Chain A
Amino acid sequence: MTEEIIIAGFGGQGVLSMGKILAYSGIMQDQEVSWMPSYGPEMRGGTANVTVILSDERISSPVLNAFDTAIILNQQSMDKFEKTIKPGGTLLYDPNGITHHPTRKDIKIYRIQAAEASAAMGNTKTFNMIVLGAFLKIKPIVLMENVEKGLKKSLPVRHHKLIPMNMEAITKGAEIVEEVA
């Protein structure tokens, strides 16, 4: 199994930390992982993205031009990354703020109303975990128990009290993700 993922959105949406939790979850089940951020000027209010690879084999390039899955959380990222999904690949997006919806016919497209659901849960910081839950429902590449272990590794101890809330958000995301095409 090799899953090549791009997660892209605004800085502040938790894109990089979602990638980190996913990578740590992979380590918890003995996978090879890489996490390659796009950093620098792009971080200041612009788009932030991270390439995450989970694999049973040694990972070659951490830098990719084509992805199995794109998780897209704003319009700029849709414009940039919809075309980079491999034929037969997966696009997961939050329609909040999207004006030009994806048009490709050769990929599977899913929608997650994560901004809306996180607001309804009363904590918009759970946004990225709702998205992660949706992704793991579509592609269960890591076991839920390993995600919880990944969260523990990824978060500083002082934030461990937030883990149940994050797991709840992941469950929520898995419940409400919808297939579009």
Chain B
Amino acid sequence: MKELKLMKGNEAVAEAAIRAGADAYFGYPITPQSEVLEYLMAERPYERTGMVVLQAESEVAAINMVYGGAACGKKVITSSSSPGISLKMEGISYIAGAELPCVILNVVRGGPGLGTIQPSQSDYFQATKGGGHGDYRLIVLAPASVQEMADHVKLGFDLAFKYRNPVMILSDGVIGQMMEKVELFEQMPRLSDEEVAANYPWATTGKPAGVPHRIITSLELDSSKQEKHNHHLQEKYRKIQENETMYEAIQTEDAEYLIVAFGSSARISQKAIDMARAKGIKVGMIRPITLFPYPSEIINKLADQVKGILTVEMNAGQMIEDVKLAVNGKVKVEHFGRFGGMIPNPEEVVKALEQKIIGG
């Protein structure tokens, strides 16, 4: 029988990390994602699978523990919320530069600064455009349900190891705190030290005689070598764009108008679409599941079909820039957002669609 549980999004991430065979979680508490660490501490995975759970002394320490664990070929995960993710950004840039796999969960709260503890999507730029320094990209996943919170942990680890690249799960306080039905995947085994050594020839697993040194670093003082490394990274990002773009198309076949929204905004917009369609407005939605790589192609294609596009985001207008790039001026693109911890309701989305796109 299917194993169904009622869980918060944050708890689903924690349980999924154990089941994905993660070797370690390093974190530091912050609302609205503290349930991740709380769940792990209560669940004691170190007794279930041998997984390490450690509350670090700070976010900076936690991300550098992730860097160290990943360098050894271990499956490591960390989580935080916006101000904490800002603190982690230096380490994330290093991990991206050193090409190491890991999963980072950001349960976004309203900002800037310490901001509010209520939900937001105002870290879109930070997640997709490089919140840390240097020319790097994270693979960014945007779960829109508690089920996806669990599934994206597994998917995140798969992509992280496939491309040796950090993966960010960009969630928010709605998805993190709400409870829904979840079907959990089966426990996967943790890799043994021998398996890690055999599977990951880049990992620092000890140096037997006759084997060359493996050096994990993001430092390269020879600019020509750094440029070569950056070209290699860009080539990798291009492959990721080619192969890993994911989105959900909802009622787009006959759509005259299009909403583009991710995460909890997509859930709210789905209800708005039902309400608009009841009024005879033919509107559909593209819900990006990956924010990098971005589903530009399908949005560009639909721009030939629809009369206007509304992005719905819990921010002042961030993803709209990627939609505009994809649309390339073919149709009008407008933004509707609530922010600072305020959550839009479906009625507001319908109103914005009517005023900014249909009537405007």
Contacts and interface: CB of A to CB of B under 8 A. Distances in A.
A144 interface: no
A86 B4 CA distance: 32
Interface of B: 4, 6, 31-32, 117-118, 174, 177-181, 264, 267-274, 343-348
B179 A35 contact: yes
B124 to A, nearest CB: 19
A73 B177 CA distance: 23
28 contacts: A20-B6, A23-B179, A24-B6, A33-B179, A34-B178, A34-B180, A35-B179, A37-B178, A40-B32, A40-B117, A41-B117, A60-B267, A60-B270, A60-B271, A60-B274, A61-B270, A61-B271, A61-B272, A61-B345, A61-B346, A62-B178, A62-B264, A63-B174, A63-B267, A63-B344, A64-B346, A65-B346, A66-B347
Interface string A52-68: 00000001111111100
Given A36-B177, A63-B344, A64-B346, 8 more contacts: A20-B179, A23-B179, A35-B6, A40-B117, A62-B174, A62-B264, A63-B268, A65-B346
A154 B344 CA distance: 30
Contact of A36 (B32, B178, B271, B272): B178
B268 A61 contact: yes
A11 to B, nearest CB: 15
Nearest to B109: A40
A66 B350 CA distance: 14
Nearest to A154: B6
B133 to A, nearest CB: 33
Nearest to A16: B179
Nearest to B250: A60
A32 B181 contact: yes
A27 B6 contact: yes
